[in-house]
Structure 1
């Protein structure tokens, strides 16, 4: 395990250096992640009864989006199409180290470059966070980052079977937008859509950490949210492993 962590740390550093010259492209990625929450913020601030903490919620959503963004349909899937994944199979390390290292490096750059945007939005809408609420949200943020990576990486492995992987991942992104807390906070969804959204993994990828950060959840709701996030992390982890085994079996058979 320590060897894998060492390899992952080196991969993250290598990717951080590699992406350092593409700051202009990273800015476009930041804007792409922030547009939908900003639109949600603008819309829901005009709605009576949305709550005084709606600004804090959407600022937290932007922060979570920057720290959990995944683009494996553009990185890992392209490696499958180009054949570069074959070289990764020959390296003395798990193949997931490469995609995970690049994923974390991109997130670090996006958050660092996105700080001015976060400060500007926070200053404009006048937000505030309780320190204890932020601490309670940190484990949920880690789970959200893991969930989003596993979800997108699993969908990106559709590249083993189809050339339309971008459409597959785009459909998953729509589900996150609708049920994850960007289109509307979970508390403002009508029943039974609210309960469905709570049970599916998409809220855990985005809205749940933001709700914890704003302190709007009761201890019971927070505990239930954490339990759902942990269960889905295990499930999606199993899905990712299964998709990889099936996909690489097909890949090596076709390439033989």
Structure 2
């Protein structure tokens, strides 16, 4: 399995390296979005010192960390899987001696390895030196573990969405709706502590907070949601358990969905 991971990741790295100019566009997208958020929050904080218990410096750090983490965990497994199922090309993967889920994860590893130096590092330098965003985690080891788990959680959640194509054939519509709900529930647009407490308690038991919100709070050095405060080791442990549960969910959906595959378009 490790040989498959290494081989597929290497091939994917080489493939995307040939089109690296496409990825380079994100060097402008990330900083521009961050700048827009910075201007909005500067206007909000002009009349007050704190919002939701966060200072302007903490708010800037929150969105800066999110920007960097999103480059590390970016995923397209849902789009790729639904495209293969819709066109019937998924049939070829049923004949291969490795599961498509492992193959897709290996593809993501190669894609993000290229993105690390082509996207993440340059944007992190821009945010650190251009906007003076503190990107140094308070607990470096726990932060690395949390981002790695976030990497897996993003993949598994998206893969489960891609699996809906076994029932819907074309999952484009549900993907668009899901991406919006996922980002809201993960704290991409607003820190989850800004939401009503009842909603925070619901989000606490859902997997989405483990994609972005949890690794961001691990970077900052504290965690709180829905009136629940946990230490960094505790929340990272919960994140690991959540990844394990999502792996089982993806396995269940796979077993149910593969029975419905008819090779449409093949």
**Fold match, TM over 0.5?**
yes
Per the alignment, residue 46 of structure 1 pairs with: 43
Q: Residues of 1 paired with 2:162 and 2:247: CA distance? A: 14
Per the alignment, residue 246 of structure 1 pairs with: 256
Per the alignment, residue 135 of structure 1 pairs with: 141
Gaps of 5+ in 2: none
Please say if residues 55 and 126 of structure 1, whose CA atoms lie closer than 8 Å, have aligned partners that are also in contact. no
1:121 to 1:131, Cα distance in 2 relative to 1, 3 A: closer
The CA deviation at 1:41 is 4.0
Please say if residues 180 and 203 of structure 1, whose CA atoms lie closer than 8 Å, have aligned partners that are also in contact. yes
Per the alignment, residue 222 of structure 1 pairs with: 232
TM-score, normalised relative to structure 2: 0.83
The CA deviation at 1:131 is 5.2
Instruction: Tell me the SS of whatever aligns to 1:250.
Output: coil
Q: Residues of 2 paired with 1:155 and 1:79: CA distance? A: 13
- Are 1:109 and 2:114 counterparts? yes
1:215 to 1:191, Cα distance in 2 relative to 1, 3 A: same
TM-score, normalised relative to structure 1: 0.86
* Match 2:195 to one of 180, 189, 200: 189
User: How big is the alpha-carbon RMSD for the aligned residues of Structure 1 and Structure 2?
Assistant: 2.7
Structure with greater proportional helix content: 1
* Match 1:86 to one of 83, 91, 111: 91
Instruction: Tell me the SS of whatever aligns to 1:192.
Output: helix
Instruction: Tell me the SS of whatever aligns to 2:114.
Output: helix
Count of matched residue pairs? 253
The CA deviation at 1:129 is 4.3
Task: Provide Cα deviations, 1:51-109, integer angstroms capped at 9, x if missing partner.
Answer: 12222221211111111111123322212222222111112222223211211222222
Q: Residues of 2 paired with 1:11 and 1:30: CA distance? A: 26
Q: Residues of 2 paired with 1:189 and 1:36: CA distance? A: 22
